[in-house]
Amino acid sequence: MEDWGLIPYATALEKQKGLQSVLVAYKQSLRDGILWEKEIPKQHVIFCEHPPVYTLGNRAKLEHILWTEQELKENEVELFPIRRGGDVTFHGPGQLVGYPIIDLENFFTDIHKYLRFLEEAVILCLKEFGLESGRIEGLSGVWIDPENPLKARKICAIGVHCSRWVTMHGFAFNIHPNLDYFSHIIPCGIEDKGVTSLYQETGKEVPMTRVKQILKEKLQSQFGWNWEL
């Protein structure tokens, strides 16, 4: 388990790519019967926050960003097209971002099951704060009031990328970010549903450290992960 704190998105992205590529290279060397002469790489589960940034997944449309290029510049918001599932989303301070960089072949080879497990860990975490949440069929992420199409609002977005079953990217869990940034995009390409946060739902300022600890426990319980990955 690692905590990168507040880190620029570009820096975190390159670090993720590096960690993933080493794991992929190690797996390939084992399959090819080539002696791995370096230190055996670990798997990683990373928590962090980012300065304001919009990221565009594989299915993203530029028209889902409602600010002009000049407005993005004026508001100091970066824009990154990246290799993950999903459309456009926002990352910023007050949002807990999780990046598991793990070899799914050590657990199960089912990307949909992996997504559901990530969602379930967040759902269980929210219960600790008295919030009921769930899923919406056909849409990834964790939602408040998922059974009510007119009131459903997303509290955690999920988008991942896999290479030879080694994951990167992950989830973005809104604790107390500035939700105004979401009004300048069509979040995840979904026009008829809102975005919320733990603070907005409870009216309470919850320390990020407390959320991290609870979510760490839920991830460990859900996956059976050893934190010495």
Q: How far apart are the first and last CA of the chain?
A: 8
Query: Is the separation of the CB atoms in 218 and 125 below 8 Å?
Result: yes
Angle in degrees, 0-180, between the axes of helices 111-127 and 208-223, rounded to the nearest 10: 130
Cα 150 from chain centroid (whole Å): 25
For residue 174, which of 157, 188, 151 has the smallest C-alpha distance? Answer: 157
DSSP-derived pairing of the beta strands 153-163 and 194-195: parallel
What is the Cα–Cα distance from 11 to 193, expressed in whole angstroms?
31
Q: At 163, list the tokens.
A: 């290479």
Q: Of 48, 156, 162, 188, which is the active-site residue?
A: 188
Catalytic residue flag (residue 156): no
Residues labelled as active-site residues: 188
